[in-house]
Structure 1
Amino acid sequence: MPKPLIAVWLDAGDAGLIRQWMAEGHLPHLDAIRREGLDAPLRSFDHSLAETVQQFVLTGQPPDRTGFWSQMGFNPAHYRIEFSPLYDFSEYPPFYALGPGRRVCALDCPQMQFHGAVDGIQLRGWGSHGPMCDFASVPPQTAADILANEGMHPNNGNDYAVLQKSETLESILQAGLRGVDLRRSVLRRLWHQGPWDLFFAVFSEIHVVGHYLIEHPSNQPYFQQPGSSHSLREVYARTDAALGELRSLLPPDGHIAVFSVEGMKQNSDELASIALLPELLFRFSFPGSHAMDFENAPPSPESLQGQFDWVMETWNLRRRPPAWTRLLDRWLPPDWAARAALRLGAGGTLRHPAQFDVMNYQPTLWYSSYWRWMKAFVLPSFSDGFIRINLRGREAHGIVDPDDYDRTCGEIEELLHALQDPASGRPVVQRVIRARGTAASGAKPHPADLVVLWDRPDPCGHVHSPCGTLGPFPGIRAGMHVPDGFLFAAGPRIPAGLRLPERPVTQLHATLFDLMETTPPSPLPGPSLLPAPAQAAAA
């Protein structure tokens, strides 16, 4: 008879911090799982990490199989970003869709659709980071019971802070600590509604807090306060205690698996991808023009009133167009007005963030009026830089001939590799991936033609370029994701002290199915991490 498995996703749990704090005795329950069973470092995807890990965890399938490379699709007919955050499971079901008779509880996964082949409970949109879905459950009574017993998670609709405002950082910390306690209560109650074959739970609080409470040049006032240096560790320790209680509920024949598929370190890439890169490609496409004026921007109206808003501070860096351009705005569509102003010598005129329904904080979108006239432009992202060539025959107004595609990619790569850190003079681009040209046979294409992997650029997006000095920008988030994960697992079928070298993250789900002693709903991309004797015992 199958044995129960508790699978816990520590969303953005950082392997380096966890190993350090286990060694120092701050995470005893995680360390016990690791010591008594399997410790496997996992290597996640080389690029597009922040956009793809959610659907990878849900399905067990990498993005070149699902085609889910980003929550933001690009419509080449209209040069428009289309927000599609949820994978529809049409080709690959969620890994926990085990079918009738296999009882499953799947709790609070980000960007989650419900699936009919799950026999049990599904909960979404309660306290996950970036849920991109409504708060609901199957059956509906589960959500109603949570509201009646624990209430709404304090991070729901409130997982953002301002690095430059210490009170918002303290608020996000307290919300994370309170959120872990509430999640612990939810998990305890729902466990007792079993028995379960699979109890799949997500802890997102360390993800939210990690984005703001890793030390960064922009949040130094917070870390000058007494006791603040241990703030992030507090949330990990509170999560560890919840894991200890959850493990104590397992029967002797059960297994527990705790994993993360990405970590967190000081954020240096995000501003480079979403703010620096759009301005660089604007200047590349329109030599002599610029849309940002880093040296002459006046203080923002918000800052003069003692307020700080990242979007408006960054918007304040824009070049101010002459007053006569308002006539163009009145009589022409936005794209044509912007183009006319540029041709008449007014420089770049960016679209106001308020004109966009979603992702309006991303400067990439503010340049969208010019996309149809640019050789290449930047798509919104959460991690690496996504560059799309304005290709004739693919884009409605493409200007790069297909015969010039490789040459244009080469020009942009040369421009990117010329970017330098102002302080040290070292290059800040690690490599540029031709995302469409290097795809494996049968792989589903990336929306970008070029993916830019950065090499520790200035955390505030300050670089020297052949198109002039760009930045600095105000800091947006303190932590960014890195492709370092782990799997710790313990139970009667796993030898104590089993240590493995780093393995690809695509072996994670096969290992979970080995522990469940069942067949996955769709073929998985990698083998189990369990040694052969354990696999044989499952047969």
Structure 2
Amino acid sequence: METTRHPVVMIGLDAAEIDVINRLISEGRLPHLARLRQDGWCGKLRADPASFLSMVWPTFSSAQPMGHHAWYYNKLWRPERSQLEYVSPDWLPIGNFVRDLPPDLRVAVLDLPFAADAPVGLNGLYLNGWQCHDDFGKQESPTGLRAELERRHGKPRMVPEVFGPQTTRTLRELRAMVCASDAQFGDVCRDVLGREAWDLFLAVFGSTHRGSHYLWDLSQVDLQGTDPEARRELEGALAECFESADRALGRILELVGEEARILVFALHGMGPNRGWFEYLPRLLDQIHRGGGAAEPKKGLLFRLKKVLPWTLVRQVTRRIPHSWNKALVPLWSRRMYDWGSTRYWALPTDHNGYIRVNLEGRDARGIVRPDDLPRVYEEVRAGLMSFRDSTTGRPIVSDVVLTDQAVGKDAPRRDQLPDMVVLWRDEVSVADVEGVTSDRYGEIRWGKGGRFPSGRSGNHTDHGWLVAKGPGLAQGNSEDVHDIADLIPTAFRWLGIPVPSHYVGRPIPGLTEDDVEAVAKEAGSGHRG
């Protein structure tokens, strides 16, 4: 194991799609990332299992897989209460690598997404909720850090996400906000980096995530009457967001010494939004009704929530304290359905479809007997696989994965997870079809050309990536795919400290001095294996 302690600088570009980066680098528009890739070691990252792509950061932060931390979305089902809740360390403790660092290490962590709580007794600085894409509250250590940074740099330019229909005006405002946020967060990072020689500095840009969701393409806005110049501006907006992040990255790296090891990364990427997850409840209701049971009855608050426009709901929720939002979720979710007649239902999600079975003995109001579970699984799987584009006959579902197979039936927190995950066919979009039909469950129509309730034109891919540079590290490109849980153990190795035994992630081969020396020795001996 390495004994030399290297300062470590980790910069996350949240959900920055590698295909976009490759294109912009080839066009000469991301000079700082291009230089880093030329001088460093490039590799690929994936979340495991890829079926739970909506929530990747807890796997990174804890160096443990989904079955161990069970944080699959921003709101989780609590089976013992039959309701949804935001994650809280009071009932679902989530590991955070910062707690495992030796007390003598000086650490600065800025905007680590979905950090459930700020570590107590941190030897350094900890800031969250400045410009994260996902609004998960605000944390700071020491107290007063946020106010100090606001005095020096102004209030955060990034505002909470507003779901719902978009317009050319809102997209232009979003582009301006993202670029301004990049510049401001770059200043904040330089401010913190310049204060002292940190052993570990970690910062994550949330702007690439926000911009990629809404500026991926113009499919979710009405372009009628838009002048050509405004349209060209919007068509180039995503590239501008990546360029502004690259400029900020370059300014940050100016302050990094030659003795440091640098890791720039994205845990996942972005591609076109196909929109199917928003229609999963309708598909499941159709199967539920056709499978010998009545259509699930829905509670009043849940029905009201579904009827109100997302823009109105989000305009309200973004203006009330985060604690109020957390309190509202259990109120409407505990009566989502009549649990006495509901065998399965769709959990909230924003990518793949999540399905929960109302299981007797596990869920507080469970009605499905454990020995009936295989039959229910097959009913749902066969039903979803039977739906096809009503015009072309193309299937819309690629697969329905059992969570027991994806994470293991005996995973420590298996009971907190959905029971099935729906994988959609990537080549079929909701907006391109008139509706779907099933030989057994009939037809559901919604009309071609509609826009998604979320207003998002982009959604996630599993295209994670990393670039590493520093003393003792090799240069080049690796085609090997590494788990996102391996990044923190790699940083621990660079810091010259042991990787905790409870981590499932391991240091990435090729990114330690031991590995580089072994490769050099093998090359010198002429051995090719």
Give the TM-score of the pair, scaled to structure 2: 0.82
Q: Note if 1:124 corresponds to 2:128.
A: yes
* 2:419 counterpart residue number: 449
Aligned length: 482
CA contact (8 A) 1:96 1:198 kept: no
Of 468, 476, 497, 2:443 maps to 468
**Is the alpha carbon distance of 1:398 and 1:30 closer, same or farther for their aligned partners in structure 2, counting shifts above 3 Å?**
same
| SS of corresponding position for 2:157 | coil
Q: Note if 1:413 corresponds to 2:375.
A: no
Deviation at 1:250, TM superposition (A): 1.3
Report the AA paired with residue 417 of structure 1.
M
**Is the alpha carbon distance of 1:533 and 1:94 closer, same or farther for their aligned partners in structure 2, counting shifts above 3 Å?**
closer
* 2:19 counterpart residue number: 16
* 1:394 counterpart residue number: 362
Deviation at 1:422, TM superposition (A): 3.0
Deviation at 1:40, TM superposition (A): 0.1
Deviation at 1:393, TM superposition (A): 3.0
**Is the alpha carbon distance of 1:202 and 1:533 closer, same or farther for their aligned partners in structure 2, counting shifts above 3 Å?**
closer
**Is the alpha carbon distance of 1:270 and 1:260 closer, same or farther for their aligned partners in structure 2, counting shifts above 3 Å?**
farther
Aligned partners of 1:147, 1:490: CA distance in 2, in Å?
A: 32
* 2:157 counterpart residue number: 154
Aligned partners of 2:451, 2:477: CA distance in 1, in Å?
A: 45
Deviation at 1:148, TM superposition (A): 0.6
* 1:200 counterpart residue number: 202
CA contact (8 A) 1:270 1:382 kept: no
* 1:53 counterpart residue number: 56
Q: Note if 1:237 corresponds to 2:239.
A: no
Report the AA paired with residue 178 of structure 1.
A
Deviation at 1:471, TM superposition (A): 3.2
Aligned partners of 2:10, 2:244: CA distance in 1, in Å?
A: 18
| SS of corresponding position for 2:107 | strand
Of 1, 6, 13, 1:3 maps to 6
* 1:317 counterpart residue number: none
Spell out the pairing of 1:181-220 with structure 2 (5 A cutoff).
Answer: 181-215=183-217, 217-219=219-221
CA contact (8 A) 2:157 2:181 kept: yes
**Is the alpha carbon distance of 1:380 and 1:85 closer, same or farther for their aligned partners in structure 2, counting shifts above 3 Å?**
farther
Aligned partners of 2:27, 2:330: CA distance in 1, in Å?
A: 40
Aligned partners of 1:415, 1:262: CA distance in 2, in Å?
A: 30
**Is the alpha carbon distance of 1:357 and 1:241 closer, same or farther for their aligned partners in structure 2, counting shifts above 3 Å?**
same
The C-alpha deviation readout for 1:416-453, integer Å capped at 9, x for no partner, is: 10111234311111111111355436413152211111
Q: Note if 1:483 corresponds to 2:465.
A: no
Report the AA paired with residue 243 of structure 1.
L
Aligned partners of 1:537, 1:497: CA distance in 2, in Å?
A: 12
The C-alpha deviation readout for 1:127-182, integer Å capped at 9, x for no partner, is: 10113122x3101232111111122222233x225444221111111110110111
Q: Note if 1:256 corresponds to 2:235.
A: no
CA contact (8 A) 1:285 1:376 kept: no
Aligned partners of 2:92, 2:83: CA distance in 1, in Å?
A: 24
Of 323, 336, 355, 1:368 maps to 336
* 1:529 counterpart residue number: 508
Higher mean displacement: 114-123 or 498-507: 498-507
Deviation at 1:188, TM superposition (A): 0.8
* 1:133 counterpart residue number: 137
Report the AA paired with residue 123 of structure 2.
D
| SS of corresponding position for 2:328 | coil
CA contact (8 A) 2:165 2:221 kept: yes
Q: Note if 1:283 corresponds to 2:258.
A: no
| SS of corresponding position for 2:97 | coil
Of 333, 350, 361, 1:382 maps to 350
Aligned partners of 1:396, 1:101: CA distance in 2, in Å?
A: 46
Report the AA paired with residue 401 of structure 1.
R
**Is the alpha carbon distance of 1:96 and 1:449 closer, same or farther for their aligned partners in structure 2, counting shifts above 3 Å?**
same
Report the AA paired with residue 421 of structure 2.
V
* 1:42 counterpart residue number: 45
* 2:492 counterpart residue number: 513
Percent sequence identity is 25
**Is the alpha carbon distance of 1:258 and 1:77 closer, same or farther for their aligned partners in structure 2, counting shifts above 3 Å?**
closer
Aligned partners of 1:448, 1:55: CA distance in 2, in Å?
A: 17
| SS of corresponding position for 2:430 | coil
Of 49, 69, 73, 1:70 maps to 73
Query: Looking at both structures, which has the greater relative contact order when contacts are Cα pairs under 8 Å and sequence separation is at least 6?
Result: 2
CA contact (8 A) 1:107 1:201 kept: yes
Q: Note if 1:83 corresponds to 2:78.
A: no
Aligned partners of 2:272, 2:89: CA distance in 1, in Å?
A: 28
| SS of corresponding position for 1:493 | coil
Of 434, 445, 458, 2:429 maps to 458
CA contact (8 A) 1:109 1:131 kept: no
Aligned partners of 1:8, 1:17: CA distance in 2, in Å?
A: 18
* 1:345 counterpart residue number: none
**Is the alpha carbon distance of 1:246 and 1:285 closer, same or farther for their aligned partners in structure 2, counting shifts above 3 Å?**
same
Aligned partners of 2:330, 2:227: CA distance in 1, in Å?
A: 29
Aligned partners of 1:97, 1:533: CA distance in 2, in Å?
A: 20
Higher mean displacement: 462-471 or 529-538: 529-538
CA contact (8 A) 2:294 2:341 kept: no
Report the AA paired with residue 172 of structure 2.
E
**Is the alpha carbon distance of 1:528 and 1:280 closer, same or farther for their aligned partners in structure 2, counting shifts above 3 Å?**
same
* Structure 2, unaligned runs of 5 or more: 299-305, 314-324, 519-529
Report the AA paired with residue 480 of structure 2.
P
Of 168, 188, 197, 2:170 maps to 168
Aligned partners of 1:152, 1:123: CA distance in 2, in Å?
A: 14
Aligned partners of 2:16, 2:330: CA distance in 1, in Å?
A: 25
CA contact (8 A) 1:162 1:169 kept: no
**Is the alpha carbon distance of 1:378 and 1:141 closer, same or farther for their aligned partners in structure 2, counting shifts above 3 Å?**
same
Deviation at 1:58, TM superposition (A): 1.7
Higher mean displacement: 493-502 or 121-130: 493-502
* 1:357 counterpart residue number: 328
| SS of corresponding position for 2:437 | strand
CA contact (8 A) 1:514 1:535 kept: no
CA contact (8 A) 1:107 1:200 kept: yes
Give the TM-score of the pair, scaled to structure 1: 0.80
CA contact (8 A) 2:60 2:484 kept: no
**Is the alpha carbon distance of 1:425 and 1:291 closer, same or farther for their aligned partners in structure 2, counting shifts above 3 Å?**
farther
* 1:335 counterpart residue number: none
Aligned partners of 1:137, 1:396: CA distance in 2, in Å?
A: 37
Deviation at 1:493, TM superposition (A): 1.4
Aligned partners of 1:499, 1:288: CA distance in 2, in Å?
A: 54
Aligned partners of 1:442, 1:399: CA distance in 2, in Å?
A: 22
